[in-house]
Amino acid sequence: MRYLLSSDLDSYLQMSELVARSEYVTKNIVVAVASQNEIYDNITASKAADTLLSMNDIEAAFVITKQREQEISINARSTGNINVQRIMEKLGGGGHFSNAATQIKDKSVENVRKMLINELKQLNEKE
């Protein structure tokens, strides 16, 4: 079991960097945005989202990373109070109520961040 949960130091450092690059976009939603120049694997991005979600007062976490050239990914997690599936569907993805993702081609990390922030603002206005 320990082997399944373990990761190498480089992956851990990448995950920690993503967590450190997070910021609140509302009082209970955080977005972590990776460097445009670095490629991250999906597991590292998912672990970063899970780590953010484990912190006090965070109800939803979104992690934006470059996973391939010309492909940006968003990993989304929630505690169950925010439907991240619906948000990811609006950006071309899907998943489940509290665990969802999307991949967006031919956009920069910053463009995808702006798209996500726009969707989150619309969600916040509806509440």
Q: Report whether 74 contacts 93 (CB < 8 A).
A: yes
Q: Which CATH class is domain 2-126?
A: alpha beta
pLDDT at 119: 93
Nearest one of 106, 95, 102 to 119, comparing CA atoms = 102
Domain range list for the chain: 2-126
pLDDT at 9: 84
Amino acid (1-letter code) at residue 61: A
How does pLDDT run across 74-118, given as a tens digit for each residue?
A: 999 999 999 999 999 999 999 999 999 999 999 999 999 999 999
pLDDT at 4: 44
**% of residues, the chain, pLDDT over 90:** 78
pLDDT at 126: 67
pLDDT at 10: 84
pTM, to two decimals = 0.91
pLDDT at 2 over 80: no
Rounded to an integer, the average pLDDT of 4-29 is 86
